[in-house]
């Protein structure tokens, strides 16, 4: 059984999000707790960077997990996620974080998206978030799960919580954007929350022929 899972990131915020998701697991058909510790991959910045240039979220997530697990010799969790607008031929898609160019802010990405959708109405404003989570150990894929959250894009941002495209992503039955939800509400509805709960079912069954510690 895996007793240590390293997140393929140097971002403490991403680790905190996964830890919060793990803490939110309950017994309503879901594991009460994860069977292993979660932590960031040590010295992440010193590893050769993985080029997330594949055309799908799944390829990027799996490729990243395989890349870092092979280099570090440990069990790695990697993710790729983004916003898909069918009326924009799937954009921003896998380029969600780079939609407005390198170094752009979330506000700039949202502004570009709203401008691109300025003349779209009704069903053409439908959008969905996608999250793919992949686990690999020493270059061997162990699990891949995905989930999506459907909504629509508003004409202007609403709310101050969340990040990225959350202020313009509207959930009709809640009459709120992702940025108007509490963290607990968002964990229940978000693509990442759903994917993590699916992964939590799988993790206790995984094993791999390697030690949990960082290779030297």
- Say whether 166 is catalytic: no
Q: How far does CA 8 lie from the centroid of its chain?
A: 12
CA atoms within 13 A on the CB side of 200: 24
Write down the catalytic residue from 3, 26, 80, 124: 80
Listed residue (9, 92, 29, 27) closest to 19, CA to CA = 9
Q: Which two tokens stand for residue 155?
A: 């004409």
Distance CA 187, CA 19 (A): 12
Burial class from Cβ neighbours inside 10 Å (0-12, 13-18, 19+) for residue 35 reads middle
Tokens 């022929």 sit at which residue? 209
CB 94 within 8 A of CB 79: no
Listed residue (145, 141, 127) closest to 194, CA to CA = 145
Active site residues: 80
């Amino acid at each position: 059984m895996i007793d240590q899972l390293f997140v393929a990131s140097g971002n403490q915020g991403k680790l905190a999000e996964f830890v919060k998701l793990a803490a939110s697991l309950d017994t309503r058909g879901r594991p009460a707790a994860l069977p292993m510790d979660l932590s960031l991959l040590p010295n992440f910045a010193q590893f050769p960077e993985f080029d997330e240039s594949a055309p799908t979220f799944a390829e990027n997530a799996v490729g990243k997990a395989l890349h870092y697990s092979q280099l570090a010799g440990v069990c790695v969790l990697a993710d790729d996620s983004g916003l898909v607008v069918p009326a924009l031929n799937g954009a921003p898609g896998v380029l969600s974080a780079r939609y407005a160019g390198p170094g752009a802010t979330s506000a700039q990405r949202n502004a570009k998206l709203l401008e691109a959708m300025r003349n779209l109405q009704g069903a053409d404003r439908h959008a969905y978030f996608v999250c793919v989570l992949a686990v690999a150990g020493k270059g061997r894929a162990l699990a891949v799960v995905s989930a999506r959250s459907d909504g629509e894009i508003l004409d202007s941002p609403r709310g101050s919580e969340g990040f990225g495209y959350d202020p313009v992503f509207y959930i009709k039955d809640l009459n709120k954007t992702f940025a108007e939800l509490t963290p607990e509400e968002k964990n229940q509805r978000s693509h990442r929350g759903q994917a993590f709960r699916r992964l939590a079912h799988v993790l206790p069954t995984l094993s791999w022929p390697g030690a949990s510690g960082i290779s030297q």
